[in-house]
């Protein structure tokens, strides 16, 4: 299958490209810079110049492909709402180019979670609306293009990690280095789910080959890692003490991450594993934090 991949040179997308090529698929990768083009060429991938804000370049990439995997996202968490709205417009543009076809459109979203301690999010849970949590714009856009007959599938990602990067935990490492302490909020028993990036890439391929239109899949290997454990691992990695912050102290310490640091985001992938036969492997989040 000829697959157009956005974010093809990114942290997750690059491994998705490798996984697709190993399985015999042909890949067209969106490249937003000459450096991206060079990296894709070195990986044996046809580069398509453009970016997620160049909607015409997205439409042209879709026209070349039998399937689309959207991994790109503008990771500007200091302007998160704007980043999420960029994602909405990109999905709408690519979706419009797929209307009237049966080509699969696989879109990356977040596991999100309900934020309610003790509730483990499942694939059946709807995404929070963008008015409540900005990342909800992604699945709102997916629902809009699905209503036009597009064959949409969603892969929800948790904290994706390897020894070099660990999702939002990478930002916690930077904060710990700056503040000289590693911190969590409250009792630290709220949990974040996680997956190694190689396991996540394998799931994208399975969704492409075996996924059901309209389905949502959770790329979750670990249902939830307590924030206290994450903070302890970050403290060991950076060589700083671990402290507890109150909810009132969180904004000054964590900045824009304060809205996330105390939330329980635990999520299950039981349905995903059963339906697709996905068996995630690889080091745990804590292991990769300590190996960083």
| Residues 192-211: tens digit of each pLDDT | 999 999 999 999 999 999 99
Quick: pLDDT tens for 79-101: 999 999 999 999 999 999 999 99
What is the C-alpha to C-alpha distance for residues 283 and 234, in angstroms, rounded to an integer?
Answer: 16
pLDDT 10s digits, 223-255: 999 999 999 999 999 999 999 999 999 999 999
User: The tokens of 201 are what?
Assistant: 């890439």
Task: Give the pLDDT confidence score for residue 292 in this predicted structure.
Answer: 86
Element of type H or E holding 127: none
What is the per-residue pLDDT across 49-76, written as a single tens digit (0 to 9) for each?
999 999 999 999 999 999 999 999 998 8
Residue 115: pLDDT band with limits 50, 70, 90: low
For the chain, report the end-to-end CA distance as a whole number of angstroms: 36
Q: Mean pLDDT score of the chain, rounded to an integer?
A: 96
Residues comprising the chain, all counted: 292
Asked if residue 111 lies in contact with residue 146, where contact means CB atoms within 8 angstroms, the answer is: no
Listed in order, the ranges of the chain carrying CATH 3.40.50.720 are: 2-161+193-220
Mean pLDDT (whole number) for 36-57:
94
Domain 2-161+193-220: CATH superfamily is NAD(P)-binding Rossmann-like Domain (3.40.50.720)
User: In the predicted model, what is the mean pLDDT of residues 142-147?
Assistant: 98
* Cα gap 15→71, rounded to integer Å: 11
Query: Alpha-carbon distance 50 to 196, whole Å?
Result: 28
- Strands 104-110 and 26-31 turn out to be unpaired
Q: Structure pTM? A: 0.96
Per-residue confidence band for 113, with pLDDT thresholds at 50, 70 and 90: low
HEC string of 48-102 equals: EECCCCCHHHHHHHHHCCCEEEECCCCCCHHHHHHHHHHHHHHHHHHHHHHCCCC
CA dist 182 and 288 (Å) reads: 17
């Amino acid at each position: 299958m000829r697959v157009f991949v956005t974010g093809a040179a990114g942290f997750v997308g690059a491994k998705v490209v490798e996984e697709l090529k190993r399985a015999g698929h042909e890949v067209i990768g969106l490249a937003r810079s000459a450096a991206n083009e060079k990296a894709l060429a070195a990986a044996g991938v046809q580069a398509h110049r453009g970016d997620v804000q160049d909607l015409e370049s997205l439409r042209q990439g879709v026209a070349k492909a039998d399937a689309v995997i959207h991994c790109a996202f503008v990771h500007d968490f200091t302007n998160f709402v704007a980043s999420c709205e960029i994602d909405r417009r990109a999905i709408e543009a690519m979706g419009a180019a797929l209307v009237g076809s049966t080509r699969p459109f696989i879109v990356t979203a977040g596991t999100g979670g309900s934020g309610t301690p003790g509730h483990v999010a499942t694939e059946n849970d709807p995404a929070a609306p963008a008015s409540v949590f900005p990342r909800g714009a992604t699945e709102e856009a997916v629902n809009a293009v699905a209503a036009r007959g597009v064959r949409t599938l969603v892969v929800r990602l948790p904290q994706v990690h390897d020894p070099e990067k660990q999702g939002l935990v990478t930002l916690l490492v930077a904060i710990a280095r700056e503040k000289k302490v590693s911190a969590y909020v409250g009792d630290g028993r709220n949990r974040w789910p996680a997956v190694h990036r190689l396991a996540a890439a394998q799931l994208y391929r399975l969704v492409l080959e075996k996924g059901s239109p309209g389905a949502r899949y959770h790329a979750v290997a670990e249902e939830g890692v307590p924030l206290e454990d994450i903070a302890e691992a970050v403290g060991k990695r950076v060589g700083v003490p671990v402290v507890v912050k109150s909810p009132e102290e969180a904004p000054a310490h964590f900045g824009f991450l304060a809205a996330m640091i105390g939330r329980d985001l635990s999520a299950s992938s039981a349905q995903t594993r059963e339906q697709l036969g996905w068996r995630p492997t690889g080091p745990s989040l804590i292991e990769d934090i300590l190996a960083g």
